[in-house]
Chain A
Amino acid sequence: MTETPLTGRARADRAPHTLSEWQAAGGYEAVARALKLPPSEVLDRVDQANLNGRGGAGFPAAKKWKFMPEPGKSPGDGPSYLVVNGDEMEPGAFKDRFLLEALPHQLVEGAIITAYATHASVAYVLIRDEYRTAIANVKRAILEAEAAGLLGRDILGSGFSLTMKVKPSAGRYIVGEETALIESLEGKRAVPRKRPPFPAQSGLFGRPTTVNNVETISLVPHILEHGPQWFRALSRTEEGGTKLYAVSGRVHKPGLIEAPMGTTARELIERSGGVSGNGVLRCFQPGGGASGFLEAAELDIPLDFGNCAKAGSMFGTGTMIVLDQTACPIGVLARHQRFYARESCGWCTPCRDGLPWVARILDALEEGTARPGDLEILRMTAREAGPRGRTFCDLMGGAMSPLATALARFGDLFEAHLDGGCPIRRGIL
């Protein structure tokens, strides 16, 4: 059995399969298998597989699914929903684009099985506006599956029915936050909701809703096809499966790598052609823009949600950004903070006003116009607004994580910036 179940069937040119090509490669067998089991059994298998959500938080997928009420057990009328989150916009992340463009039938398969296990009868795939090829390819896969009776009423004679639709978004990083995404689907500004109630109680249009990331959903068919034990054995740690890692920044061959969960940064960087620039690693972020900085001493940590958290960072989207010795982490941080400041929905004051303040100070540090008191403002903001901070959602808390780790690890470099701007750019360091 393949060691790269998620991407093993993809073509080098990213061209998606037609339905018949996908079926010839074994596609939709997992659906047929799942629909012969009771939904609770499907859920149990995913539970046993230890599949953690791949969108950033790493919450166990089956645990989320268990909150979904059985038919007739939620008050009121209307369907339950599955929402597939394809609003990939985290700095450094480009994995979902690939899965959507190259493997749309895998996503449809995963959505059918997940909807079945969570008693959902309508599935939305929200895809960011810029991913035009992805939108077209998933739409086409849905039409093909509908025409073949794999979506719609009474799928494969199982009695289970599912309607699946693509909804393109129109910009804004915050749409990827699951409750903001639900607001967006309802036709509102993407402002996160207060929780509880959680989406499984009251989600889209007030109905029970599961929101899962594209990669999470795309892994589901393989669990049903090969079994939970096989899925767990793919991993080098307790967290099941392979991971679609991404490596970018200062490496010779940036790209996607499907590898066992728990693969080390050292191995991923090696497989990406090694560190570029001056060839010597300064630091890396293991999971996108909102993950804390790690250094050479952490190169051999098995990268998964638990181990990254233990190291004081976050696995996030599993999309690594690499810096060599000639790259300034404060410069990287400045780009991240400008991004998060720009993408704040504006609802919570610390985020709306605090992030631009942080971004301005980092710009001033780079330019050499910052004042000594500015570093204390950065420390105060990182402390007060960090994870589990004072905002509805995790946008600001996430943004503070690279700031806090940079302040802790690169204190001298911050101080050096006070004396005339970025010393790396000026060739002093």
Chain B
Amino acid sequence: MTPQTSHLPEPLRDAILGAMDSFGGARPAMLESLRLIQHEEGWVSDDRLAQAAALLGVSAAELENLATFYSMIFRRPVGDTVILLCDGASCWLNGGDAVRDRLMERLGIGFGQTTADGKYTLINCACLGGCDKAPAAALGRDRRLVGPLDAAGVDALLEGRE
């Protein structure tokens, strides 16, 4: 869990003010503010959401309205590595189910869940724009595209020997 402070850290505050400047005011900077928080801390906590709303001069409910709509804004803590696994048709046609099953078996979690040790969060997502690498997944903070995956590839990935 990220330690919370009563104020936004200075760099985040500056980044959000920068987004307001760049995108035409507080409202168009709302989604970017959520993204900036998530980039730093992995997810958007209630405290951070309230702090960002105060800085932007909008209500927390307005910011929450966006946070709950945009699926890549996480309102719960996530693992160190987020795995976005494509469940689209092209990935399914190339063995996506076996990759899904292996990931769930190895991690002991289903979609939308985080491992008990806090290492991984597994999320289903389509389409990742990696149909030429199907079955594909996007990993970690930089959403690195990996594929084509199979059960052995999942093992290699989780054991850090790609």
Binding site for B on A (CB under 8 A): 88-94, 96-97, 128-133, 165, 167-172, 184-190, 205, 246, 248-250, 254-256, 289, 319, 321, 323, 327, 331-332, 335-336, 338-339, 345
Report yes or no: A187 in contact with B31, Cβ–Cβ below 8 A: yes
Report yes or no: B89 in contact with A332, Cβ–Cβ below 8 A: yes
Q: Is B127 an interface residue (CB 8 A)?
A: yes
> Beyond the given A94-B131, A129-B35, A165-B23, could you list 4 further A-B residue pairs with CB under 8 A, ordered by the A residue number?
A92-B131, A97-B129, A167-B32, A331-B92
B30 to chain A, nearest CB (A): 5
Q: Is B88 an interface residue (CB 8 A)?
A: yes
Q: Is B98 an interface residue (CB 8 A)?
A: no
Known: A94-B131, A129-B35. A185 touches B28 (CB 8 A): yes
B8 to chain A, nearest CB (A): 19
Known: A171-B71, A323-B93. A339 touches B88 (CB 8 A): yes
Query: For the side of the interface on B, what is the size category?
Result: 35 or more
Report yes or no: A335 in contact with B131, Cβ–Cβ below 8 A: no
Interfacial chain A residues near B35, Cβ < 8 Å? 129, 168, 170
Pairs across A and B, CB under 8 Å, 15 listed: A91-B90, A92-B127, A93-B131, A94-B129, A132-B142, A171-B71, A186-B27, A187-B29, A188-B27, A190-B69, A205-B24, A249-B134, A254-B132, A289-B89, A289-B127
Report yes or no: B70 in contact with A171, Cβ–Cβ below 8 A: yes
- A345–B65 CA distance with the chains assembled, in angstroms: 13
Interface flags for B1-36 (1: CB within 8 Å of A; 0: not) read: 000000000000000000000111011111110110
Known: A250-B93, A289-B89. A256 touches B22 (CB 8 A): no
Report yes or no: B73 in contact with A339, Cβ–Cβ below 8 A: no
Q: Is B106 an interface residue (CB 8 A)?
A: no
- A255–B132 CA distance with the chains assembled, in angstroms: 5
Choose among A93, A165, A254 the residue that contacts B22 (Cβ–Cβ < 8 A). A165
B21 to chain A, nearest CB (A): 11
A396 to chain B, nearest CB (A): 17
Choose among B72, B127, B131 the residue that contacts A171 (Cβ–Cβ < 8 A). B72
Interface flags for B69-95 (1: CB within 8 Å of A; 0: not) read: 111110000000000100111101110
* Closest B residue, CB atoms, query A130: B143
* Closest A residue, CB atoms, query B33: A187
B113 to chain A, nearest CB (A): 17
Interfacial chain A residues near B24, Cβ < 8 Å? 205
Interfacial chain A residues near B131, Cβ < 8 Å? 92-94, 246, 248-249, 254, 319, 321
A375 to chain B, nearest CB (A): 21
Interfacial chain A residues near B69, Cβ < 8 Å? 172, 189-190, 345
Interfacial chain A residues near B126, Cβ < 8 Å? 89, 91, 335, 339
Interfacial chain B residues near A331, Cβ < 8 Å? 92
Report yes or no: A130 in contact with B32, Cβ–Cβ below 8 A: no
Q: Is B110 an interface residue (CB 8 A)?
A: no
Report yes or no: B129 in contact with A131, Cβ–Cβ below 8 A: yes
* Closest B residue, CB atoms, query A285: B89
Choose among A93, A168, A205, A332 the residue that contacts B93 (Cβ–Cβ < 8 A). A332
Report yes or no: B130 in contact with A94, Cβ–Cβ below 8 A: yes
* Closest B residue, CB atoms, query A94: B129
Interfacial chain B residues near A323, Cβ < 8 Å? 93
Known: A91-B127, A249-B89. A187 touches B27 (CB 8 A): yes
Q: Is B128 an interface residue (CB 8 A)?
A: yes
Interfacial chain B residues near A93, Cβ < 8 Å? 127, 129, 131
Interfacial chain A residues near B50, Cβ < 8 Å? none
Interfacial chain B residues near A128, Cβ < 8 Å? 129
- A256–B133 CA distance with the chains assembled, in angstroms: 11
Q: What 7 A-B pairs come out closest when comparing CB atoms?
A: A171-B72, A248-B131, A171-B71, A187-B27, A170-B70, A248-B90, A94-B129
Q: Is B156 an interface residue (CB 8 A)?
A: no
Q: Is B122 an interface residue (CB 8 A)?
A: no
Known: A94-B129, A327-B93. A130 touches B138 (CB 8 A): yes
Known: A132-B143, A168-B35, A323-B93. A338 touches B29 (CB 8 A): no
- A91–B126 CA distance with the chains assembled, in angstroms: 7
A346 to chain B, nearest CB (A): 9
Known: A170-B72, A187-B30, A335-B126. A94 touches B93 (CB 8 A): no
Known: A90-B127, A170-B34, A254-B132. A129 touches B88 (CB 8 A): no
* Closest B residue, CB atoms, query A175: B70
B144 to chain A, nearest CB (A): 8
* Closest A residue, CB atoms, query B131: A248
B140 to chain A, nearest CB (A): 10
Report yes or no: A321 in contact with B89, Cβ–Cβ below 8 A: yes
B146 to chain A, nearest CB (A): 13
Q: In this complex, which of B35, B89, B129 has the most chain A Cβ atoms within 10 angstroms of its Cβ?
A: B89
Q: Is B66 an interface residue (CB 8 A)?
A: yes
